[in-house]
Chain A
Amino acid sequence: MDALVNQRIKQVLRGDQEAFGEIVELFKDKVFHLCYRMLGNRHEAEDIAQEAFVRAYVNIHSFNQKRKFSTWLYRIATNLCIDRIRKKKPDYFLDAEVAGTDGLTMYSQIAAEGKSPDSEVETLELQEIVQREILRLPDKYRVVIILRYIDDLSLNEISEVLDMPLGTVKTRIHRGREALRKQLSNL
């Protein structure tokens, strides 16, 4: 994978824009997923994920090919997500689309607090609840939890993506897990 990616990067550096399309194909699911979990809204996630690739393209000459491309790309994407969250802080939570509900927002969630008897609906509800609770985490905890458990990064990779000491990453994962444990303990 890394060899293929580096080959495509060389092509892009030589001016072959089409080669970048293959890079996007390889990483689009991961980047979109990361953005979606961070932002909780498909449209915004799509916008930010696309923007991450555009920035990667524009800055591709500054990527050091001895390093992992995915780490570099995640870093661009997480920074964009965090910027976006900070810009719209006061209302992002209630506006956030709930996972798997195709357009439902937290506003509709509040109204529909009751339990459904159907078990399939309950699974969906559970995932919505978990997504909602992840979105309630302060962004510094949310980002490490998402990178760790949804993108499956190692603690070392997270420390590289976020440019943060390993010890800080650990502390934040511990606090993030503890916060979620509390938030989810009555399920």
Chain B
Amino acid sequence: MKACPEEIVLYMQEHLDGDLSWEKEQVLKEHLQKCTACQEYFQELKRTIAYIQSTSHIQTPENFTMNVMARLPKEKRSEGVRR
């Protein structure tokens, strides 16, 4: 296996940031077409992102807002709504 150009991994990362210039994008594409190891690596990076994004179900505790309001310093309460 011949060594891949060092900047290819950086180009992949920049691609994932939406930060890769058109010229570098072509270099990356061209390299990926002929290098399965880099293809695989690139897939792994993309899969990693999908994994991170898949963790998103989580419920905020009940009464969260009420509890915050109860923790606010009392002295500022005077001008607010009276109960």
Contacts and interface: CB of A to CB of B under 8 A. Distances in A.
A181 to B, nearest CB: 5
B45 A181 contact: yes
Given A127-B54, A181-B44, A149 B49 contact: yes
A17 B80 contact: yes
Given A16-B80, A126-B54, A181-B44, A28 B72 contact: no
A99 B45 CA distance: 22
Interface string B1-26: 00000000010010011010000000
B17 A155 contact: yes
Given A127-B54, A130-B51, A46 B17 contact: no
Contacts, number: 107
Interface in B35-58: 44-45, 47-49, 51-58
Interface residues of B, number: 34
A184 B48 contact: yes
B60 interface: yes
Size category of the binding interface on chain A: 35 or more
Contact of B69 (A14, A20, A37, A150): A20
A128 to B, nearest CB: 9
Contact of B73 (A28, A58, A170): A58
Interface in A132-187: 134, 145, 149-150, 155, 170, 173-174, 177-178, 180-181, 184-185, 187
Contact of B57 (A14, A100, A184): A100
Interface of A: 14-18, 20-21, 24-25, 28-29, 32-33, 36-37, 42, 46, 49-51, 53-54, 57-58, 99-100, 126-127, 130-131, 134, 145, 149-150, 155, 170, 173-174, 177-178, 180-181, 184-185, 187
